[in-house]
Structure 1
Amino acid sequence: MAHIIVVGNEKGGSGKSTTSMHVATALARMGHRVAALDLDIRQRSFGRYLENRAHFVGKEGLDLPSPTLGQIDAKNPNDTDPLSASMAALEGDHDFILIDCPGSHTRLAQMAHMLADTLITPMNDSFIDFDLLARMSPDGKVLGPSIYAEMVWGARQGRQAAGAGPIDWIVLRNRLGTQAMHNKRKVGTALGQLSRRIGFRVAPGFAERVVFRELFPRGLTLLDLKDIGTEQLSMSNIAARQELRELVQTLNLPGVKVDF
């Protein structure tokens, strides 16, 4: 059975597609058979990222390891169930299937969370995105889990009832500031307290970097730069590669030995 990685939350602009593309491509470059599904039927950022990659690789005659993009046959993801068919078509031939969910609640996204062996929830490092996980009082006290956290809890209960095993939930702190700012410390403290309460691990993600926006039109990742003739990486690119290495190590996926 393929190991299912789901990248999801219910807020846009948190870096889900960037995270999905880099994790999926890193696994492919390490020799694993990786399939990808984009459940954001309207925006399709992850799907277009992979399509851009296929076009660029073909045009330039390059041989870059790439995830296989699966198809979702759905005009309305709220009242159809195409996910099971898509998963069945991919599972037998792949080691990992990475599913990128939309930044909103849909039936397909809810189903994907129930399939997750590993769940990655990227969030911008602010209390605006912290609201994705928990409701807070004006004085900073956690009042209770958010609707999204309750949905993850429901997915865990559903998996337990089906005997499918636990979900390893990782909350990814994207766009971390480089300075030890007061707000950064407060968010970190609140996440640490909440992680013990509702059961997730916290991992540092990607800083805000121009290179991510520059790579999208060609479907490239940080790991592809030397393959396209970039002889010397900038300090920012080297730091970003290290962030990706630490993320993949933190995920602790089965059979994965990080070698980049």
Structure 2
Amino acid sequence: MSARLWGRGQDWATVARDSSGKIKEFVITKANKAAIKEALSEYKTELQWDSPGALTANFDFTVAQIGNGNAIIAPTIWANCTVWANGILQEKVPGAKIGMYPTVGGHPYTGAWSYGVSKSSKNPEAAYWLTRWIASFTCSNIIFKEAGMVPARIDVLEAPELRQGANAYPLGMVADYHINIWKATSKDVGNYWYFNTKAGGKVYDMQIFAISKALTGEQTIDQVVSEVVRQTLDLTTKFDKKYKIREEK
């Protein structure tokens, strides 16, 4: 959903700034609400071509459907799934390949997959060094080449060997895809609402459950849009004490 909103030049909420560029407030504008409704309607229509797993957030099922050759197209899916599904595909449908194309609008979601150390570990020094290792070139290579997870290091993705021989597919394809979308969205990411509010994580979790109700038919799209707006206002007010949020009526 975020990708569909960003591709329309919209967001869940608009980050309003003053003349110096500092954030003044967050506003859920009329244009934001209209875009949420439009994107959600589009999403629901496209489910007729998507894997049934799209309604359950069951990655294993969705990946297996693609790998087994049962799914022709997945309108929206995590890019990482391409690498995992390809491993199954080569066993089930030898010689077959999976293609990738950026979300319509060219602003795919980049986030959610994070590596870090829990605060409850109560060991800040160990957390620092572990995080340094996770972010290193060596570990990022392992994460990508052996686990299929996309690292947050463009130098790893730009490695020439990823465009050669057996590495070109699927790793080279996935790397080129991410390099292109990172460059295309870099000028906008700093202004995305998620990444400017302390309430982003709380709202993200809420959206997963709220949005699914429109897709399964449990609620109408209009009902879900109203509920998302209401909860976004409530959660942001509760968890982000730095900036206020309001709805444009």
- What TM bracket, shorter-length normalisation? 0.3 to 0.5
Structure showing the higher strand proportion among its residues: 1
TM-score normalised over the length of structure 2: 0.33
TM norm structure 1: 0.32
Please tell me whether Structure 1 or Structure 2 has the larger radius of gyration of its CA atoms.
Answer: 2
More helix by share: 2
